Structure 1
Amino acid sequence: MGKIVYSMHVSLDGYIEDAEGGIGFSVPADDVHQAANEQTEAAAVLLFGRRLFEMMEGPWAEIAAKEDVSEVEAEFARVYFATPRIVFSDTLRCVPEGVRLVRSADAVDEVKRLKREVPGTLEIGGAQLAASMVDLVDEFRLVVFPVILGGGKPYFPPAPVGLRLIEHRAFPSGTVLLRYERA
């Protein structure tokens, strides 16, 4: 049985994007990036909403094609493209090799099936997708950056969820990893 983990980079006040849709506040230091590499390598599958998929796929394909990138970025590109990816979208018509497209109407049923059939961690990313699946999420994983945005797209769905802290880790950069499971 799989475990659904909703994982995103967030500001201290809980936003995954600033008011203009930017994520520049969450560029990780190498130690935070290495933790993300390890998390991605441990994932059985990556589940994306369309917007997050587009923010990840194109830029990481460009980085993977370059020779003059840092070791930690090259490693992330390698593990990212080695991990099966599913994007949930009604607007995308095609996806690159290694990615499976699932229509939104089938999203909940598909994630339930994956949770039953795929052992390991199923990483879900994208606030809208995660909000539609909040009842299926087993763990909420936040990588909190030391910045207050004052608005933008919130990480948490607009529904109450009782949580229990299972891990916290501070990085020298001031970024903090928080892991919560359902209470």
Structure 2
Amino acid sequence: MRKLIYGYGVSLDGYVNDRDGSIDWTEPDDELHQFHNDRYRELELSLHGRRLYELMAEYWPHVPDDASSIERDFAELWTQKPKVVFSRTLTEVHWNSRLVRDNAVEEVRRLKADGDGVFEVGGADLAASLIPHGLIDEYQVFVSPVVLGGGTPMFPPLDQRLPLRLVETRRFETAVLLRYLAE
């Protein structure tokens, strides 16, 4: 069975973006960016919600020529990585992506059962639909030293506790990684 990872950069108060939807406060240092590139390289598949897909598709396929080699590497990784985009409003997707308009929970269950590698979910709303069903196996929280006071939370309100086991911490210049396994 495939292992599903939910990883995100968050503010100290747990938001993945600010009240305006901006992520301009998440400037990864080179070591952290390379860590993300290496991690992304190991994934079989990436799941995107509509907003994350639009954000990524706006920038990564068009990364400027003067971008760093780390950014150009990620741009190539992102455009080539197989992606499943969950949206009821998009009519088409590009860059090695497949659009799913129906039940995300059932599709993710099918994808988990359909292999034995690792894949990730990106997008707080998409992840929020999967968390209550116990579909996420690992959480990677990249905490940045900023308090936003509002925005989109990484975790949705839940009816019951979500027991996790801390398995790794790692300090980068611009964030701290907290890696947890679901119990």
Q: TM-score range by the shorter chain?
A: over 0.9
Q: Which residue of 1 aligns with 2:129?
A: 132
Deviation at 1:24, TM superposition (A): 0.6
Q: Which residue of 1 aligns with 2:55?
A: 55
2:89 to 83, 88, 91: 91
User: Which structure features the higher share of helix residues?
Assistant: 1
Question: Which residue identity lines up with residue 136 of structure 1 in the other structure?
Answer: L
List gaps (5 residues or longer) in structure 1: none
Question: Which residue identity lines up with residue 45 of structure 1 in the other structure?
Answer: L
- The question of 1:151 aligning with 2:142 is answered no
Q: Is the 8 A contact 2:28 2:174 kept in 1?
A: no
Q: Which residue of 1 aligns with 2:31?
A: 31
Deviations 1:151-181 (A, max 9, x none): 111001211311110111001x141111111
- The question of 1:117 aligning with 2:114 is answered yes
Q: Is the 8 A contact 1:44 1:118 kept in 2?
A: no
Question: Which residue identity lines up with residue 99 of structure 1 in the other structure?
Answer: S
Distance 2:8 2:113 in 1: 23
Q: Which residue of 2 aligns with 1:166?
A: 167
Distance 2:115 2:143 in 1: 28
TM-score where L is the length of structure 2: 0.94
- Residue-pair matches, total: 179
Deviations 1:24-43 (A, max 9, x none): 11121111100110111011
Q: Is the 8 A contact 1:162 1:182 kept in 2?
A: yes
Distance 1:142 1:163 in 2: 12
- The ranges of structure 1 where at least 4 consecutive aligned residues each deviate by more than 6 angstroms after the TM superposition are none
Matched residue of 1:137: which SS?
A: coil
- The question of 1:68 aligning with 2:69 is answered no
Question: Which residue identity lines up with residue 93 of structure 2 in the other structure?
Answer: V
List gaps (5 residues or longer) in structure 2: none
Q: Is the 8 A contact 2:27 2:174 kept in 1?
A: no
Deviation at 1:67, TM superposition (A): 2.1
Question: Which residue identity lines up with residue 82 of structure 2 in the other structure?
Answer: P
Distance 1:143 1:81 in 2: 23
Deviation at 1:61, TM superposition (A): 0.9
Q: Is the 8 A contact 1:89 1:102 kept in 2?
A: yes
Q: Which residue of 2 aligns with 1:77?
A: 75
